[in-house]
Structures are given as C-alpha cells and as structure tokens.
Amino acid sequence: MRAVLLAEDSKVLAAAIKKQIESELKISVKCAYNYDETIEYLNDNRNNFFAAIVNYHFTGALDGQAIDLVLSRGVPVIVFTGEFNEELQKRLWEKKVADYVLKDGTLNISYLVSIIQRIYRNDKIKVLVVDDSKIFRSHISKLLAVHKYIVFEAASGTEALDIINKNPDIKLIITDYEMPKMDGLKLIKEIRKKYNKEELSVIGISSYGSENMSAIFIKNGANDFLNKPFQSEEFYCRVSQNVEMIEYIEAVRDVSNRDYLTKLYNRRYFFEAAALIYANAMRKNIEITLTMLDIDFFKKVNDTYGHDAGDIVLKEISSVLNSSFRQSDVVARFGGEEFCIITSNMAKTNVRSHFEDLLKKIEDLEIKANDKIIKITVSMGVCTKLLDSLDSMIKQADKMLYKAKETGRNRICYY
C-alpha cells in the first residue's frame, strides 16, 4: 500500500495534516517526529512512500538535512516551512523539491493535501515534451519526473505525432515554437484535427521575442503558454492546472455517460458509441457482436432479500461484465436488470466459448448481501450477424434473449 511520509516535529500539526490527508484522500500517513525516526521509516522496506512532507527546520536536522535524505531515496518532497525568503526559495528549487508550503493556516494545509493528491495520481498521467534542444527537453522532463508523471520526449513535431499515435491517452503536450520540419504551431494544428482542448491539453513555450506569441499559440489551439526561461514554481502550477482541467472535464463527462449504481455505461452513451462501432463495421466489413443479457428472477431477489441486496447483485454482475470485455468494447446497463454489450473483431469461433465462460462465471458467483449468500444466473441473446441496421441487431439479440428465457433460463441463444 502506497503511503505518505510526514516528517514534522510538532505532534499537534502532524496530527492535523495526517487526519486531513487520510480522511480526504484515503491514503496512509506515517509520522516521523525526528530525524532518526525518518531514517527508520525509510529503511523499512515495508513502507512504499510515493511522497513526503518534510519540515525544513526539523529536530535532528535543522538545516534541511532531512530533505536531502528523503530525496536521496527517490521520494518527492514537499517542504513545509515556517520560514520564507528568496534565498531559501532558491535553495529549495535547486534541491529539486516537488513544492514548498508555508505554515501559516488551514488553507495551506488544504493546499498541501492537494499537492499530495496530484502526485498520487500522476503515475498514470502521460506527458509529451517536444523541443529540438536536447538540453532543454531533458530539463523539462526532469521537472516532470519529480512529480512522477510518465514522460515522453520528441525532438520534432513529426516525431511527436508518431508518439501521440502510439499513445492516444497522453493528457498533456508541452511544445516549443521553433523546431525544424514542423514548428510548434503546425504541430498544434495537426493535434487539433484529432483532439480538442477538452481531451488533450497543450502548453506552448518559446523564447521568441514577439510580445504576441502567447496569443498566437492560444489562437492556434494551445491551452496555455510559458515564456522561456521560466521558474520551476510557475511551471508546476501551469502543468497541474492544465492536467486538472482535463481530469475535471473527464469526470463531468463520465458522470453523464455512466450508470450511477453500476458505473457501467448508460443507455444513452451505448447508442452513441454503438452507432460509431456499427458504422465502422459497415465501412470496413468488420464482424461485430450484439448481446442482450438479463438477470434471471431478479424480482425474486428484491422481494426475498430487499432492494439493498438487489443493488449489490447488480454491482457484482456489472463488475464481472466489465472485467470480461476489452476497453474497446461497450458494456452498458440498459435499465433495471438488463444489460447490452457490443464487441468488434471477435472471431465467431471464439464468441460461443467466450459467452459460455461468462455464463459459467456468473453461475459460480457467491454474492454476499446482508449476511446471506445469493446465487444468480443470467440469460443471453447474441446476434453475430451484421444486419442492415444497429436497431435490427438489437431487436434480434432481444428476440434471442426472450427465447433463452422461454426455454429454461441460464442459457444463451444465438442468431
């Protein structure tokens, strides 16, 4: 389990920080109250620290030695200090700390928690750095690595496009303006042909003398702009702000596309996504499979065990369905106890075995609800023929589902 190391000699302050991080983020916090305890925690291989909060003037390490110790173990450090001046600020950034926070109120503790949350998420966030200068590219990459981002590098716009094609889940691109073959503005125009500002954020950077360069970048599709040279502190603020905006938009979109209970896609999203999959299948003559699935005797579950137990059953079935299909497939809750699944490029020889395995997996489930074990089966109707419309495939799958119900349930009928 990943945890945060908190090296703070004030037990009252440490308790307040620990409580806020653990209650808001559900992340374990280990408190060290002096330099020796910090060493002990770092030497204990059972601790998996992804970040540390370290007091600059710390008992047993009054001049930042605890910061150096933690950094030497490869753990990002947020410095928590009651002292602030330009000399100390310069010294901290030279040490390559993740950030620093002043000890002057509860708002700053909240900011501290937000930095921890950001670093915790960053090991899943891909960032691409595009600059023809290897030295500057390396400098930016090292800054991003301190915050644990997954970093890719490209020396030109054409190389960047190749990396983006291979990594479509990149969330942020930081690109220079002046580059050979394809400059930063042309690169952004190419990116925007496929990704809008809400899907992929772009920060332009340049040392080019024009006062209008920031406006030129933003008008050509960038989300933000930084002049070279820039301070590390400003760089981190801009990067975090852009990544968090993408995450926020994704979260809002996810709420509108997902069923609130099961977290599967909802009926509205299914028809949007399935229409695109169907259209692509018609153009390229790709095989697709449309499946309707219904939980057998679900009303009896609600009547016997209560609606809370019924909700648990729906969540368990949904979890099995979600793990049984690829990310490119669409699994949706159609309503009540009914689900719809569309898959592509599943060889017909594999369709039957895949769905038979799924049927057996659900039959073998032992669902715990209200101190009871509930056994469940499902019935499925599967259409493997590419018909003249998506609606026709859904109707045929629904007919097959009805046939499966009529002929005994806990079975699959195919069209």
Domain-located, residue 376: yes
Domain-located, residue 262: no
84-88, 128-132, 357-361: range with lowest mean pLDDT: 84-88
Residue 157 bridge partners (DSSP):
none
pLDDT digit string, tens, across residues 15-31: 999 999 999 999 999 99
**Same domain, yes or no, for 103 and 144?**
no
Q: How far apart are CA 415 and CA 413, in angstroms?
A: 7
Residue 18's alpha-carbon distances to 32, 215, 359, in angstroms, are: 11, 43, 46
Domain-located, residue 137: yes
Q: From the CB of residue 74, how many other CB atoms can be counted at a distance below 10 Å?
A: 7
Q: Which of 255, 285, 319 is the last residue of a domain?
A: 255
**Number of domains comprising the chain:** 3
Q: Which of 222, 255, 288 is the last residue of a domain?
A: 255
Domain-located, residue 20: yes
Of 133, 163, 165, 135, which Cα lies nearest the Cα of 151?
A: 163
206-220, 254-268, 324-338, 355-369: range with lowest mean pLDDT: 206-220
Query: Is pLDDT of 1 > 80?
Result: no
pLDDT digit string, tens, across residues 382-398: 999 999 999 999 999 99
**Same domain, yes or no, for 251 and 271?**
no
Domain-located, residue 261: no
Average pLDDT (51-68) is 92
Of 363, 403, 384, which Cα lies nearest the Cα of 288?
A: 384
**Same domain, yes or no, for 114 and 138?**
no
CATH number at residue 216: 3.40.50.2300
Query: Is pLDDT of 62 > 90?
Result: no
**Same domain, yes or no, for 54 and 130?**
no
Q: How far apart are CA 184 and CA 190, in angstroms?
A: 10
pLDDT digit string, tens, across residues 134-189: 999 999 999 999 999 999 999 999 999 999 999 999 999 999 998 888 999 999 99
**Same domain, yes or no, for 275 and 407?**
yes
**Same domain, yes or no, for 84 and 128?**
no
Domain-located, residue 244: yes
**Same domain, yes or no, for 62 and 14?**
yes
Domain-located, residue 213: yes
Average pLDDT (39-67) is 92
43-47, 194-198, 293-297, 358-362: range with lowest mean pLDDT: 43-47
89-98, 217-226, 341-350: range with lowest mean pLDDT: 341-350
CATH number at residue 284: 3.30.70.270
Q: Which of 207, 225, 255 is the last residue of a domain?
A: 255
pLDDT confidence tier of residue 413, bands split at 50, 70 and 90: very high
**Same domain, yes or no, for 277 and 398?**
yes
Residue 75's alpha-carbon distances to 29, 99, 134, 140, 234, in angstroms, are: 14, 13, 26, 18, 22
**Same domain, yes or no, for 235 and 346?**
no
Give 213 or 341, the one with higher predicted confidence: 341
pTM: 0.78
Domain-located, residue 260: no
Q: Which domain holds residue 322?
A: 267-414
**Same domain, yes or no, for 245 and 138?**
yes
Angle at 261 between CA 247 and CA 370, to 5 degrees: 135
Query: Is pLDDT of 347 > 70?
Result: no
- Look at residue 113 and give its three-state secondary structure: helix
**Same domain, yes or no, for 289 and 379?**
yes
**Same domain, yes or no, for 113 and 145?**
no
